[in-house]
Amino acid sequence: MGIQALRVLYHRGAVDADGKTGDGAGIQLAIPMDFFAEQIERTGHKTNNLPFAVGMVFLPRTNFDSQEKSRILIESEIIKEGFKIYGWRQVPINTKMIGEKAKATLPEIEQILIGNEIYSSELELDDKLYLIRKRIEKKINQENINDFYICSLSSQSIIYKGMFLAEQLSNFYPDIQDKRFISKFAVYHQRYSTNTFPTWSLAQPFRVIAHNGEINTLKGNKNWMAAHEPRMSHPNFEKNIDDLKPIIDQSASDSAALDATIELLVRSKRNLPMAKLMTIPEAFAHRRDFPKKLKDLYAYANAVMESWDGPAAICGVHDEWAIAGMDRNGLRPIRYTLTDDFLITGSETGMVEIEESKILERGRVGPGQMIAVNFKEGKFYTDAKIKNRLSQSKPFGEWTKKITHIDKLVQSVDEEFRDINASDLRKRMSSFGWTVEDIELILHPMIAEQKEAVGSMGDDTPLAVLSDNYRGLHHFFRQNFSQVTNPAIDSLRERVVMSLRTRIGNLSNILDEDQSQCDHLQLSSPVLSINQFKTMRKYMKYNVKIIDTTMDLTTRDISFKKELDRINKEAEEAVRTGFVHLILTDKSLSKDNVALPMILVTSSVHHYLINKKLRTFISLNIQ
């Protein structure tokens, strides 16, 4: 049934001129025990009563030295943990089915059969295999071995995928046609590449999820995960937590990066529905119809880690859960059909032929929603039921009481204005690159009519680097995502699904699950009024360090680099001294003191503290 559904999705993927090479397709299935027990017997071994594991591995095809090194590295890491190797299996493939470009990059595809005499629980075994896989990947990178990839290493599931068309999968891998290939689930995907080139390893599904869409906040998500790494700890990993780092490979696609994050969360004893809710939450800030317990759940998730934003329809499976979920805007479709025996979900309805008399329910997953199946309970959960279950799993209402909201601290509703004379104001605006056009076309409509300036998505102005006039540093950058697939958000939807809420404070371990993660100040917007800024300063008390970001032009041998180094070192010293908040300010701007571009200073301090493994110990604020 999974293969049938995948085949009808061929039109959703790109096809090369040769008519046979695709962007990638694949399927994740429960390991067929009888089938692989027979493969183990062929190696001269017999399985015991404990679970065994299978690894699906892409090896370098033409570099035999790297191929053998890879096998040795895999075997040594597995044996170190007390497991035994039954043997390697050459996976049968039919290369006649694929195109020339796919053949040119075809890896050596093998399976490693692993014996276990330690763990009776498949989940515990897979947690250990997760650690082993991450160690293998690190050592492979250290050896500079290319074209290596572990599709799956598990006692519960196996992934068959490649750079071909959806309809070619079962013919390319004859294993799948074996009658013993029976699975309680099938996660399938036909890829359409948007921000990475097609490769065998980037075909989906990944280890936990399959993702349709783009993550527009990818760069920020990768940076924040790197910032969170120094504080990570969990009993599942004990002293081995460093073996998991980096959590996200910097060369990973957006889908692979999201999968790596969700995999980390589920390996840290969070269930898959909770991991989805934390990474791709529903818009809740302006929803008055949501019960308080659900809002408390979202407030907690928002306090723990940054959401992954952008068009996203995901399906995934881990342990006893299978889910399908949407991003908060609902920019990718998910349809589902429910019968007594099956739940079928995908980008379209009608992917599998089902008699109408057997259908109990048809529907779509709405923006920010998810549906789930619990295999252990044999139960289907609607969006409301699964979120009700999650909201009651912990006392989130008590935990979120530790969140301090700035709006509740602001005592006066009358806003203050800085006392700056007109001449000084013009000089300051000129020094920051403001022009008459900016004031008339952008600021004036916002102030006089409370409207944003109307403009196109494109930018027909000359590139900043070619301009004869001064252009602010921010003019040299552009958004880096696939705009063509992101429809414009109208004002009505924007009010519901967009939020500027942000948090500041000492960020804790994202793998914990307790009230300490909510001990921070929440801002309704990252842009503060004078009153709000003064209130925030009172909240910070003596835990704040103020750093001047202007450059004294009267000093000899001065340079941007030297000033950035000074600011970075001052920030590092502040964190190590015990300050919890940093304020970068250019208030001392004058004739002799020029302000460094704040976007440059902020970025420099942010990344410097990430590299020093100090970023989550302090909040970064701009004045």
SS3 372: strand
Widest CA span of the chain, in angstroms?
89
Percent of the chain with pLDDT over 70: 92
- Range of 155-169, 400-414, 453-467 with top mean pLDDT: 155-169
Other Cβ atoms closer than 10 A to 366: 12
pLDDT tens-digit readout, 103-124: 888 999 999 999 999 999 999 9
Please say if the pLDDT value at position 363 is more than 60. Answer: yes
Please say if the pLDDT value at position 16 is more than 80. Answer: no
CA distance 505 to 427: 34
3-state SS, 291-314, equals CHHHHHHHHHHHHHCCCCCCCEEE
Least confident span in 200-204, 205-209, 540-544: 200-204
Residue position matching structure tokens 């930018």: 459
Q: Look at residue 101 in the predicted model and tell me its pLDDT.
A: 84
Model confidence band, residue 141 (pLDDT cutoffs 50, 70, 90)? very high
Q: How far does Cα 570 stand from its chain's mean position?
A: 32
CA distance 337 to 438: 53
577 versus 216: which is more confidently predicted? 577
Please state the rounded mean pLDDT for residues 87-91: 95
313 versus 204: which is more confidently predicted? 313
CA 194, 198, 204, 206 dihedral sign is negative
Please say if the pLDDT value at position 356 is more than 90. Answer: no
Type of residue at 324: A
421 versus 145: which is more confidently predicted? 145
Mean pLDDT of the chain: 87
CB 31 within 8 A of CB 129: no
CA distance 476 to 356: 57
Q: Look at residue 418 in the predicted model and tell me its pLDDT.
A: 65
Q: Look at residue 217 in the predicted model and tell me its pLDDT.
A: 87
Q: Look at residue 335 in the predicted model and tell me its pLDDT.
A: 92
Residue (of 273, 482, 509) closest to 391 by Cα position: 273
Q: Look at residue 112 in the predicted model and tell me its pLDDT.
A: 96
CB 29 within 8 A of CB 185: yes
pLDDT tens-digit readout, 566-600: 999 999 999 999 999 999 999 888 888 888 999 99
Calculate the alpha carbon distances from 353 to 4, 6, 182, 263, 357 in Å.
9, 13, 19, 32, 12
Please say if the pLDDT value at position 128 is more than 80. Answer: yes
Model confidence band, residue 19 (pLDDT cutoffs 50, 70, 90)? confident
Say which residues have a Cβ less than 8 Å from residue 103's Cβ, sequence separation at least 6. Answer: 95
The pair phi, psi for residue 72, each rounded to 5°, is -60, -45
Q: Look at residue 67 in the predicted model and tell me its pLDDT.
A: 94
Please state the rounded mean pLDDT for residues 199-227: 89
Q: Look at residue 28 in the predicted model and tell me its pLDDT.
A: 93
Bridge pairing between strands 521-523 and 404-405: parallel
Q: Look at residue 452 in the predicted model and tell me its pLDDT.
A: 76
Q: Look at residue 399 in the predicted model and tell me its pLDDT.
A: 93
DSSP state of 230: G
Model confidence band, residue 456 (pLDDT cutoffs 50, 70, 90)? low
pLDDT tens-digit readout, 256-295: 999 999 999 999 999 999 999 999 998 887 778 888 999 9
508 versus 77: which is more confidently predicted? 77
CA distance 551 to 566: 11
pLDDT tens-digit readout, 484-523: 556 666 666 766 777 788 888 878 899 999 988 888 888 8
Model confidence band, residue 10 (pLDDT cutoffs 50, 70, 90)? low
CA distance 38 to 547: 67
Q: Look at residue 188 in the predicted model and tell me its pLDDT.
A: 87
Q: Look at residue 7 in the predicted model and tell me its pLDDT.
A: 67
Please say if the pLDDT value at position 472 is more than 90. Answer: no
Type of residue at 149: Y
CA distance 310 to 194: 13
Q: Look at residue 460 in the predicted model and tell me its pLDDT.
A: 64
Model confidence band, residue 69 (pLDDT cutoffs 50, 70, 90)? very high
Least confident span in 13-17, 364-368, 410-414, 420-424: 410-414
135 versus 342: which is more confidently predicted? 135
Model confidence band, residue 480 (pLDDT cutoffs 50, 70, 90)? low
Q: Look at residue 208 in the predicted model and tell me its pLDDT.
A: 95
Q: Look at residue 170 in the predicted model and tell me its pLDDT.
A: 86
DSSP result, 579-622: --EEEEE-TT--SSEEEPPHHHHHHHHHHHHHHTT-GGGSEEEE
CA distance 114 to 251: 29
What is the CATH superfamily name and number for domain 1-205?
Aminohydrolase, N-terminal nucleophile (Ntn) domain (3.60.20.10)
pLDDT tens-digit readout, 335-353: 999 988 888 898 888 788 8
- The structure tokens listed for 620 are 């970064």
Q: Look at residue 411 in the predicted model and tell me its pLDDT.
A: 62
pLDDT tens-digit readout, 406-446: 877 776 556 666 667 777 888 888 888 888 888 888 888 88
Type of residue at 337: T
CB 244 within 8 A of CB 340: no
Please state the rounded mean pLDDT for residues 10-38: 82
Please say if the pLDDT value at position 602 is more than 90. Answer: yes
Model confidence band, residue 97 (pLDDT cutoffs 50, 70, 90)? confident
